[in-house]
Amino acid sequence: MSRTKSVRDYIRTIVDFPHEGIMFRDVTTLFADPRGFRIAIDQMLHPYAGERIDKVVGLEARGFILGGAIAHQLSVGFVPIRKKGKLPGTTISQDYKLEYGEAIVEIHDDAIQPGEKVLLVDDLLATGGTAAAGIKLIERLGGEIVSCAFIIDLPELGGRNVLENMGMDVHALCE
Ligand code: PRP
Ligand code: HPA
């Protein structure tokens, strides 16, 4: 008898992308499947039933796809955090470390009002550098982060500890 597919069953692994030795967890196959996408959104929202959430913030790029669907489901607004130079209005910036070198992410300075309850969303938690930069941006605008939600946590890279040490609640659907 075949068992019902879970979220992890829809995720494809691409070997040696973007570099040799990397096993890239590709969520496009999850997004492309109507049942897979729906159960992923439903399961990401499950821990927050009954909680106040005023805004969903998504991290570029796959956090936009998840964050848009989650914001629609909650009937709240969606706010993007983008790589430097992409947002047209006045922004605040935050740098963070990559495997090699540094990067900068930005948010519109009027996108979150002080005291708003924010859910931060992305596809994957690795070192936590990207999410940590996003948390700093949201907090600099006075947003209060309810939780950080991911599809995948790569535990060997330590991102969960980084975020929990910043006082964050962290949820991921699979490791
Ligand atoms: C990936 C992923 C997360 C981030 C996680 O995005 O979607 O945003 O890396 O890594 P970290 O926890 O070590 O910061 P990527 O930087 O590849 O950008 P993209 O979504 O624009 O392709
Ligand atoms: N998939 C997507 N983004 C990533 C990955 C991955 O496997 N590793 C680090 N960032």
What secondary structure, in 3-state letters, does the chain show?
CCCCCCHHHHCEEEECCCCCCCEEEECHHHHCCHHHHHHHHHHHHHHHCCCCCCEEEEECCHHHHHHHHHHHHHCCEEEEEEECCCCCCCEEEEEEECCCCEEEEEEECCCCCCCCEEEEEEEEECCCHHHHHHHHHHHHCCCEEEEEEEEEECHHHCHHHHHHHCCCCEEEEEC
Residues of the chain with pLDDT under 50: none
Which atom of ligand 1 is the closest one to the Cα of 83?
Answer: 21
Q: What's the pLDDT at 16? A: 97
Question: Which ipTM score applies to this complex?
Answer: 0.96
Distance between Cα 80 and ligand 1 center (Å): 14
- Ligand 2 pocket check for 131: Cβ under 6 Å: no
Domain that holds residue 116: 51-174
Q: Is 175 a catalytic residue?
A: no
In a domain, 81, yes or no: yes
Residue 71: give its domain's CATH number. 3.40.50.2020
pLDDT attached to residue 1: 61
Domain count, the chain: 1
Ligand 2, residues 15, 122, 154: which to mutate, most atoms within 8 A of Cβ? 154
Does 153 map to a domain?
Answer: yes
Ligand 1, from 122, 151, 157, 168: best to mutate by most atoms within 8 Å of Cβ?
122
pLDDT at 99: 75
Annotated active-site residue 99? The verdict is yes
Is residue 39 situated within a structural domain?
Answer: no
